[in-house]
Chains A and B, each alone.
Chain A
Amino acid sequence: MSTPLDELFVRVRSENRAALIGYLPAGFPTQEGCIAALTAMVEGGVDAVEIGYPYSDPVMDGPVIQAAADTSLRNGTGAQEVMATLAAISKVAPSVVMTYWNPIERYGVENFLKDLKANGGSGVITPDLTIEESELWIASSNSHDTNRIYVVAPSTSDDRLRKVTEATSGFVYAASLMGVTGTRTSVSSSAQSLVSKLRTVTNLPIAVGLGVSTPDQAREVAQYADGVIVGSAFIRLLQESSTLAEGVEKVRELAQDLSKGLSRA
């Protein structure tokens, strides 16, 4: 069984381009605002969406996403709101949930996967779940035909890249640098060498995230990766806009600009 996300990567491969993946935390800037911004993103050219499950202790995230998660939590975002956002967006684009592990554990692994599937989700990105702690997760996600997306880093050893990618489906999330989320002035050169190393151990699509925010950066990454992940840049636009409508339009424009540089021709 393949998910809408799997199908997307087959399609973009045949189009000889990279997929553009956009991230926003559910409930940010508001529940409806998030759905509006994600919808605009997709209309602007984003191919797949990552919906963040805001968490109280986001140790992988820099100040931009921390602040957005904070706003969202103060709006009362919980599992229900994440699932509702997923239900709305999975109708227009392949969608995954990105979450720290504890909210899943608290919800119950089986229940989480069941509800994810029921709301059209393709998979889950788990940045702090190690493969050593994944026994139940692997068994359950297999039985629910859900993509299991792990994040690897420039410091990950070759041996471990092999083990992690063996447990992965959908795509491999390659963190471009050693650090937390946030916009950067340039894409670290470690991203390309990580992708090259990954190519020797897996045939899975590889998407690069962390610090990709401008059309130039997206164009650069699209030359060697199968997916380009942009998060903080979208969030910043929403944070800096005085009205939601203005923010949503800027998000749409950025998605349009980013999507122009994805072709490898």
Chain B
Amino acid sequence: MSLAVDSDIIGHFGPYGGRFVPEALIGALDELALAHEVAQKDPSFQAELAELHRTYTGRPSIITEVKRFAEHAGGARVFLKREDLNHTGSHKINNVLGQALLTKRMGKKRIIAETGAGQHGVASATAAALMGLECVVYMGEEDTKRQSLNVARMKLLGAEVIPVTQGSKTLKDAINEAMRDWVTNVETTHYLLGTVAGPHPFPTMVRDFHRIIGIEARAQMLELLGRLPDVILACVGGGSNAIGIFHPFLDDAGVRLIGLEAGGSGVETGLHAATISGGSPGVLHGTRSYVLQDKNGQTIESHSISAGLDYPGVGPEHAYLNDIGRAEYRPVTDAQAMEAFALLCKTEGIIPAIESAHALAGTMQVGKELGPDAILLVNLSGRGDKDVQTAAEYFGIPL
């Protein structure tokens, strides 16, 4: 049986996924699920999206072998899938262009989005500018400070950025505010959710728009080496870049899939965002998955140096892949991620996003475990321009 089965009709992956939302949203979710299903089978939609990716996103993204970096990864061969080279600087654009096209098909004129690192907000603002849609981005006040450059980018692109002052003032609260906006304005507005979480159809739909990463990488590795990699590694916040590269390899039993979660100060300290490694099954933001929660089912605030991974939930398909043992999830601390960040800068001339640096830190560990015969493929989900200020502060570089 293929592991790459689809979720059932209401979006379950084993016991995970589904819909836990107010009735007010059911109509819009059904409409979206139908629009997605139709578009998946519609050659004209696929052609339009493929053309956008070719002429606007800059796809296919290239593969780079990083030999000097690999010396610090047990001498294994390490290949990067360069999603950082996409227009707007990360994988997020893959999903955004797909959903923006669906928005137009559904006849809606306004999109709202949540953002943590700002990458999804920037990608959403970009697509809105390109397609003439009104765009409102909700961003935790804390994150607007950590990622002020991206706030300015969104504004330049014509989006309205609303700082969210409730709760932990980060991504989770930005999602809450976006959901409240959506419940109120659902007739005119599409909620362009930025990861593979949330109620059905988001986990399935967002994954389908990111599968292009894995589809390309599979063909590229076969062409380059005549074989598949031994291990694929990706960072996991909500899990969109990871599922995008994992999914086309699910039936390749010989390919290990490893997701790297944000371990913050260390899972044992409680200050982390490693939802699968350090959380438990529960319901958050409309889906059942792993959640960071206390004994009463209240969400626990997550902690990470990386705004894009600083989320106490994770996509339901990852929860399922973890439980059936098809994928493994490991925490990477802030310190380990920043070490890998610095190393890629100095050995390869590539400044990664701090999110992606978590995958690089995992690569250093796994490479050492497997040794020089191993072939590792890493999803470099984004570039680090947005993180220069955070990194400069971390390494004590005066600004």
User: A103 touching B296 by the CB < 8 A rule?
Assistant: yes
User: A160 touching B297 by the CB < 8 A rule?
Assistant: no
Task: Tell which of B23, B24, B172, B299 has the most Cβ of chain A within 10 Å.
Answer: B23
Known: A57-B285, A102-B284, A102-B291. A79 touches B22 (CB 8 A): no
A78 and B285 CA atoms in complex are apart in Å by 20
Q: Is B186's beta carbon under 8 Å from chain A?
A: yes
User: B282 touching A105 by the CB < 8 A rule?
Assistant: yes
A55 and B285 CA atoms in complex are apart in Å by 12
User: A59 touching B183 by the CB < 8 A rule?
Assistant: yes
Q: Tell me the nearest residue of chain A to B298, going by C-beta.
A: A56
User: A156 touching B27 by the CB < 8 A rule?
Assistant: yes
A106 and B186 CA atoms in complex are apart in Å by 30
A102 and B295 CA atoms in complex are apart in Å by 11
Q: Is B144's beta carbon under 8 Å from chain A?
A: no
Q: Is A164's beta carbon under 8 Å from chain B?
A: yes
User: B24 touching A155 by the CB < 8 A rule?
Assistant: yes
User: A106 touching B23 by the CB < 8 A rule?
Assistant: no
User: A102 touching B167 by the CB < 8 A rule?
Assistant: no
Q: Quick one: which of A100-127 are within 8 Å of B by CB? A: 101-107, 127
A55 and B293 CA atoms in complex are apart in Å by 11
User: A178 touching B184 by the CB < 8 A rule?
Assistant: yes
Q: Is A128's beta carbon under 8 Å from chain B?
A: yes
Q: Is A244's beta carbon under 8 Å from chain B?
A: no
A154 and B184 CA atoms in complex are apart in Å by 11
Known: A102-B283, A130-B26. A79 touches B20 (CB 8 A): no
A151 and B24 CA atoms in complex are apart in Å by 9
Q: Is A215's beta carbon under 8 Å from chain B?
A: no
Count B-side interface residues using an 8 Å CB cutoff.
35
A127 and B291 CA atoms in complex are apart in Å by 20
Count A-side interface residues using an 8 Å CB cutoff.
39
Chain A residues within 8 Å of B172, by CB = 57
Chain B residues within 8 Å of A78, by CB = 295-296, 298
Task: Tell which of A73, A79, A157, A180 has the most Cβ of chain B within 10 Å.
Answer: A180
Chain A residues within 8 Å of B271, by CB = none
A49 and B34 CA atoms in complex are apart in Å by 40
Q: Is B19's beta carbon under 8 Å from chain A?
A: yes
Chain B residues within 8 Å of A156, by CB = 23-24, 26-27
Q: Quick one: which of B88-120 are within 8 Å of A by CB? A: none
Mark interface residues in A144-157 (1 if CB within 8 Å of B CB, else 0).
00000011111111
Known: A57-B176, A130-B19, A178-B183. A106 touches B295 (CB 8 A): yes
User: B27 touching A157 by the CB < 8 A rule?
Assistant: yes
Mark interface residues in B1-42 (1 if CB within 8 Å of A CB, else 0).
000000000100000001111111011100000000000000
Chain B residues within 8 Å of A55, by CB = 297-298
A57 and B291 CA atoms in complex are apart in Å by 12
User: B24 touching A178 by the CB < 8 A rule?
Assistant: yes
A56 and B175 CA atoms in complex are apart in Å by 13
User: B298 touching A132 by the CB < 8 A rule?
Assistant: no
User: A102 touching B293 by the CB < 8 A rule?
Assistant: yes
A160 touches which of B18, B26, B167 (Cβ 8 Å) = B26
User: B180 touching A150 by the CB < 8 A rule?
Assistant: no
A160 and B26 CA atoms in complex are apart in Å by 9
User: A57 touching B284 by the CB < 8 A rule?
Assistant: yes
On A, residues with C-beta under 8 Å from B are 55-60, 62, 66, 70, 73, 78-79, 101-107, 127-130, 132-133, 150-157, 160, 164, 175, 178-180
Can you offer 5 A-B residue contacts whose CB atoms are under 8 A? A62-B180, A101-B283, A105-B283, A153-B23, A178-B187
Closest 5 CB pairs of A and B: A106-B297, A153-B24, A103-B297, A78-B296, A179-B184
